[in-house]
Amino acid sequence: MYRHQIRSARAILEWSQEELARRSGVSLPTIKRIEPGMSAIQAREETLKKIKLAFEAEGILFVDGPHVGALLGVVTAVPGIVQGRRCVLIKTSPLEPAIAILPADAIKDAKKARKEGDKRWADILESAAHMAENLPPEAGS
């Protein structure tokens, strides 16, 4: 994870450093220390995980590599895929919780879209769910 990714995720959610500290359980001085600059963050793994999980709870996803981003990029750009929250892809680390919940949420949203007469969107959602279900196990861990 890089410093600019934390700043970008905060900006997307319109969070202050104080809000990130509160939601992540990481102290404000630590947030202020790790955010400036562009390099990789030198912090404890536990600290970075807390920050990452706070963002993911709001639909910000940190993904690794073009394959996963391309695979989910179309469907994750709209609300409702990840626990009814907006979903933004920020390249950095393997997609963890989203792959686990994408199939169920996408199928549910596909049924709703089909019921509302939006066949094209329903097809896209069903396709995304199918692809997520068929990812190799290491893609979601």
> Are residues 30 and 81 part of one domain?
no
DSSP state of 135: S
107-123 confidence digits (pLDDT tens) = 777 778 778 888 877 77
31-90 confidence digits (pLDDT tens) = 999 988 777 778 888 998 899 889 888 877 776 544 333 233 333 433 344 444 444 444
The predicted structure's pLDDT at residue 105? 66
**Of 37, 58, 79, which residue sits at a domain end?**
58
0.75 surpassed by pTM: no
8-37 confidence digits (pLDDT tens) = 888 888 899 999 999 999 999 999 999 887
Residue closest to 44 by CA, chosen among 34, 58, 57, 54: 34
The predicted structure's pLDDT at residue 68? 35
> Are residues 139 and 108 part of one domain?
yes
The predicted structure's pLDDT at residue 89? 46
Helix 97-115, helix 119-133: angle, nearest 10: 160
The domain tally of the chain equals 2
Say whether pLDDT at 94 is over 50.
no
> Are residues 136 and 103 part of one domain?
yes
> Are residues 37 and 1 part of one domain?
yes
> Are residues 127 and 78 part of one domain?
yes
The predicted structure's pLDDT at residue 55? 86
Domain, as residue range, for 53: 1-58
> Are residues 50 and 80 part of one domain?
no
> Are residues 72 and 54 part of one domain?
no
> Are residues 54 and 70 part of one domain?
no
The predicted structure's pLDDT at residue 34? 92
**What CATH number did the domain enclosing 1 receive?**
1.10.260.40
